[in-house]
Structure 1
Amino acid sequence: MFLQRSAVVAARRVAPRVIARRTFASSFVRRDEKKTEAPPSTKVYKKLDEIRTEDDLIPPTGAKPGTVPTDYEQATGLERLEILGKMQGVDVFDMRPLDASRVGTLEDPIVVNTAGEEQYVGCTGYPADSHNVLWITLTREEPVARCMECGSAYKMHYIGPPDDPHHEHHVGHGPGGPYERPKNMADFIKSEYANA
């Protein structure tokens, strides 16, 4: 029995040494390439008030060959606008949560800013998270809506361009011609209760 244990212990001690002798690693190094230090940053960042057209949201140059581009060097469009805003401390898309410190009433609704034709609002009630999320659609034609669960009122405040060229396409016209707006719960409320 003593002999069996010593053979196992000896085998354990010998195995790593054998494996260690057999491993081999290599790497290739280019010796002819000159090491150069990166020049000091000479990039000129555009300010938000300097952006006039979509062409201003295209980066002037990409990354240097052989380097990995940063988000600033490769981002275009709205992503670039957001990055430029963050660099200047501006939250371009206003990603703060809505005011959940009160219940919105029809006289004093919770205001939601938007630059589009419609805005979806997720209501969780008052106090916050008192009911499951109910999604409410606010449009330019019907900017005020109430939550069916808690009764909180929301109002859409349009901050987009006043002469939005896409506005005519959404008002009363579908792909096949004029259409009727689908009915929702607000259509079935008596008029004397609608303003309560």
Structure 2
Amino acid sequence: MLFRTALRSVAPRALPRVQPTRSFLTSLPRRSDHQEPLLQGPGGKTGEVPTDFDQATGLERFELLHKLKGEEAFSLEPLEVPRLGTLSDPIMVFSLDNERIVGCTGFPVDSHDTILFPVGKDKPVRCPECGCAYKVDFQGVEHDDHHH
């Protein structure tokens, strides 16, 4: 019994305490963040039912802000195709992304059902029905890496 009492008093001093020498974080903290402001509403107030404007975020808020100005946020007009696009002179399609989905109705317009297909900025793509060629006219930021 005397031996156990002696061990209890010595044991805590015999084992050194281990202090962590490094952080377990695997990513560096961001010190400067130069981003566009978030499209975020003020949120709902306590005791009130929030409106769409109060809680809309992202593209929905972007569209609401444009409607308040009396403008359309997105171009909903059909693409004018005054000629048959060729591989050497394709119909250019405005886009803020590297790729866009095009709906071709043929040349002359409405000569076949709408066919949807992806078009990129690198090379023209032909419609499988009428052969009209389309290519993206890229107007966005070249290395915009915050998309999926």
Bin for the TM-score computed over the shorter chain: 0.5 to 0.7
Equivalent residue letter for 2:97: G
What RMSD, in angstroms, separates the aligned Cα atoms of the two structures?
A: 2.7
**Structure with higher RCO (Cα < 8 A, 6+ apart):** 2
- 1:130 to 2:111 alignment: yes
Q: Deviations over 1:51-110 (max 9, x none)?
A: x6242x11123256344x332122101110111122223333322211144322345432
CA spacing shift, 1:90–1:120, aligned 2, 3 Å: same
Of 43, 46, 60 in structure 2, the residue corresponding to residue 61 of structure 1 is: 43
Q: Report the structure, 1 or 2, having the larger helix content.
A: 1
Runs (5+) with no aligned partner, structure 2: 1-34
Cα distance in 2, alignment partners of residues 137 and 112 from structure 1 = 11
- TM-score normalised to the size of structure 1? 0.49
Contact 2:95 2:137 in 1 (8 A): yes
User: Map of 1:24-35 to 2, 5 A cutoff?
Assistant: none
Superposed counterparts of 1:164-183, under 5 Å: 164-165=144-145
Q: Secondary structure at the match of 1:137?
A: strand
Alignment map for 1:26-175 (pairs within 5 Å): 53-55=36-38, 57-62=39-44, 65-67=47-49, 69-142=50-123, 144-165=124-145
Contact 1:54-1:77 within 8 A present in 2 as well? no
Q: What TM-score comes out, normalization by structure 2 length?
A: 0.62
Q: Report the Cα offset of residue 128 of structure 1.
A: 2.4
Q: Count residues in correspondence.
A: 114
Deviation per CA, 1:116-145: give whole Å up to 9, x if none. Answer: 232111111023221122223212333x11
